C-alpha cells in the first residue's frame, strides 16, 4: 500500500503541476509530451481528464495520500478494522474500474498514451489486487478455501497476465507508430 500510494501520489502530483502550468501558459509543453502517441498534455485537457468537473488527478492526490498513510500505519504495526479494509478494497475496486475506463478512452478515443497515467494504471491495479488478496486471506471477504489457494499460489502470474493484456492492447493499438520506430 505504501509503495502504490507513493507512486500514485507522485504521478498525480506531476500531472497536477503540469496541468497548472498549462492553465497559466497554454503554449506550455509538459515534459511527458514525448511523441505524437506518448503525450499527456492533450489527455489532461480532454473532457475525460476532468470527468467529474475537476481534474482527475485531484482524485489521485487525495486517494493515494490516504492509501500511503494507511500503508505506513500498517507497516508501523497498526491493525486496521475490518470495515476499513472493506472500504479500502471497495475504493480500490472503484479506482480499478475507473482506470479501465480511462485506459479505453486513452487508447480508443484520445489515441494517446500518457506515461503518468500509465503509472497510475499500474499502481491502482496492483493496489486493488493485493488489498483484495489480503482481504481474502484474512477472511474479511469470505471465499472458498480452494479458490484462496489458487489465488495465493498464482497471484503474481494472474497480475502479470492482467498487465500483459493491457500491454498487448497498447502495443496493438499503436502498432503502426511502434513499428515505424524500428
Grid coordinates representing 21 are: 502550468
Closest CA to 74 of 62, 88, 60, 61: 88
**pTM of the entire predicted model:** 0.94
Distance CA 82, CA 88 (A): 10
- Position 178 scores a pLDDT of 86
> For 47-89, what is each residue's pLDDT tens digit?
999 999 999 999 999 999 999 999 999 999 999 999 999 999 9
Which residue range(s) make up the domain with 122? Answer: 2-181
The single residue listed with the C-alpha cell 472500504 is 87
- What CATH number does residue 125 fall under? 1.20.1440
> For 97-154, what is each residue's pLDDT tens digit?
999 999 999 999 999 999 999 999 999 999 999 999 999 999 999 999 999 999 999 9
Strand-pair partners of 38:
113
Closest CA to 43 of 112, 119, 121, 104: 112
The number of distinct structural domains making up the chain is 1
- Position 63 scores a pLDDT of 98
Amino acid at each position: 500500500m505504501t509503495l502504490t500510494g507513493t507512486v500514485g501520489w507522485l504521478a498525480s502530483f506531476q500531472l497536477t503541476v503540469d496541468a497548472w502550468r498549462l492553465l497559466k501558459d497554454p503554449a506550455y509543453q509538459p515534459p511527458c509530451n514525448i511523441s505524437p502517441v506518448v503525450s499527456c498534455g492533450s489527455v489532461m485537457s480532454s473532457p475525460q481528464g476532468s470527468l467529474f468537473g475537476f481534474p482527475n488527478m485531484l482524485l489521485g492526490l487525495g486517494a493515494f495520500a490516504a492509501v500511503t498513510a494507511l500503508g505506513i500505519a500498517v507497516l508501523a504495526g497498526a491493525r486496521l478494522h475490518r470495515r476499513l479494509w472493506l472500504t479500502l478494497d471497495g475504493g480500490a475496486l472503484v479506482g480499478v474500474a475507473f482506470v479501465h475506463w480511462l485506459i479505453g478512452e486513452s487508447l480508443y478515443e484520445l489515441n494517446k498514451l500518457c506515461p503518468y497515467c500509465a503509472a497510475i494504471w499500474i499502481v491502482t491495479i496492483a493496489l486493488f489486487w493485493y488489498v483484495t488478496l489480503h482481504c481474502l486471506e484474512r477472511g474479511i471477504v469470505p471465499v472458498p478455501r480452494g479458490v484462496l489457494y489458487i489465488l495465493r499460489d498464482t497471484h503474481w502470474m494472474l497480475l502479470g497476465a492482467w498487465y500483459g493484456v493491457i500491454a498487448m492492447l497498447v502495443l496493438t493499438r499503436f502498432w503502426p507508430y511502434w513499428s515505424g520506430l524500428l
